[in-house]
Amino acid sequence: MSTNNGETNNSDRDNPDIGNPEQQLEEFLMPRNRYHGEFTPQNLAFNANLQEFAQRVSLICGLETGGKVSNVEAYDDIKKLWKELKASKKSLLKKKKKGEE
């Protein structure tokens, strides 16, 4: 069920009967939360990137803890993700000069 402004209702996310199995798996593995900060398209895009970074780091840590990947491989993967996030921040969130609003 969608609201008038196109946002998904929280109850939709909790309803297991909504969406196909692939969508349900995606939501389980990579949940997304609503953005509550100052809205700009850039802030929203960076927030999505930040959430994806956090989810992937969590997954990599779990794989390393479970012995599925080495600690060196996990570190390298996280370092790569960090560089991608920094590039995203640099391109999306340009610093304002003093006195600019």
Q: Residue 58: is its pLDDT beyond 90? A: yes
Question: Strand, coil or helix: what is 62?
Answer: helix
Can you give the pLDDT at residue 36? Answer: 83
Higher pLDDT, 52 or 4: 52
Whether the Cβ atoms of residue 7 and residue 44 lie closer than 8 Å to each other? no
To 5 degrees, how large is the angle CA 25–CA 27–CA 29?
65
Stretch 49-66: mean pLDDT, rounded? 95
C-alpha 101/C-alpha 82 separation (Å) is: 28
C-alpha 80/C-alpha 53 separation (Å) is: 10
User: Helices 41-65 & 71-92, crossing angle to 10 degrees?
Assistant: 180
pTM confidence score: 0.65
Instruction: Quick: pLDDT tens for 7-22.
Output: 444 445 555 556 788 8
